[in-house]
Structure 1
């Protein structure tokens, strides 16, 4: 029988496992703090930020939130980031994407203190990841790793195919799965929507991660029996949420699969909290046990 991987349950386990570290830091005089910045009228972004604030409140992490008017000049957003960089109560900074059209998001990321870049997007942190010495693992790729670990999927020696080459998910995940570490050592093929004969690649894989942003790009006919399927995609088709994997046909052949929604999404938020606590430990010099 195919195991449906419950991302909500695993995310809750991660959050609960952080409580001890948060208490240790707070008792020692350094309560972890996460700042969120919103410069958008996108309702989904506003909802997502409010969920992050609620997560912080439930765990005892300080939550700071700044809204920048969507019509404000880019310098107002840059100044907000600078102020948060200088705020000792803030350990992590997350500027919610997308930002206003006239603002260069990559420039915003470059202005975040790398030690507070809990998304792991700053060029310095990307370089450390590629080198094999990550300060922070990006939240969604790290969440995928945690789901595989929870499911008991062995990555060492496995053939993994990552479909999608974004700097947010696909490329960093390929690096993490391939690196020499307890949760790596896989042989990784990085594909995308323009890969010729994508099915020939996915058919050979023990693990398939779909993160191309193309609705139902991968279906059951493209998978081998017993494969583990992680669907990072979240697309709206005729008002319904669908992933990058055609769920019903993939479920027929997979040994384990993540649903959409309720799979990877909750893990992204949980790993953001993880990185915030890690940043607080690094910045304060207080050692804590992290899961």
Structure 2
């Protein structure tokens, strides 16, 4: 039974993970933390989190383990690698991968965890740095109803739109649908701002008009203003968006689907990355289209 005495292990404290872990701390949960660069966990440790020197050490001392790492290869290493989660977590532990990763990998983790009497959910999120900070992320979950119900008190600290989409891998498929939607939308937001400037309009006032109509979107309301301020700090990295779009494109091809909007957006973001913007926020796409 999940309670405030439940020890939550958190692996990965990047732009979003740090805020998610901090919100759990502020809600009264005891946090164990591990990340490859201890400096990134300094704030959480200062707030009372217990630092663990290895994934294995964290897994042995946690009842719920949340992973929020970078790439599918990182997920695979954390769960299946030497001294990884699945070889060290206790029977009855809940593991939640909140990284955007491959649906097939989520199914592998679920199967291996089930064999060890560990409960596994894939639960990627959307909402960027602002959603992580405010605890208003959308959480897309795949796995069993019983595990979902048990972990709902933890999810409600991190997010507010929390839906069990189906069995293992369903959360990842839903997140890929989310990224496909954003991919074409980001191109449209950039082009709209550039068009408004070219037409001699005040682009800020244009955003005020169109952000509440049929064109409304998170990207338009939150990233459009950052583009106007020339604020390209990462709420979500270009390199991670490229990773997500690549996984989505591969998954679509496996299902025999053509996704021309996704393909175009991925091509543009790869070109942006080649120009040195890998670690910029996704709103930096406007730099490429302005040229």
User: So what's the TM-score if we normalise by structure 1?
Assistant: 0.34
Q: Which structure carries more helix by proportion?
A: 2
Question: Which structure exhibits the higher relative contact order, with contacts defined as CA atoms closer than 8 Å and separated by 6 or more residues?
Answer: 1
Q: TM-score, normalised by structure 2?
A: 0.34
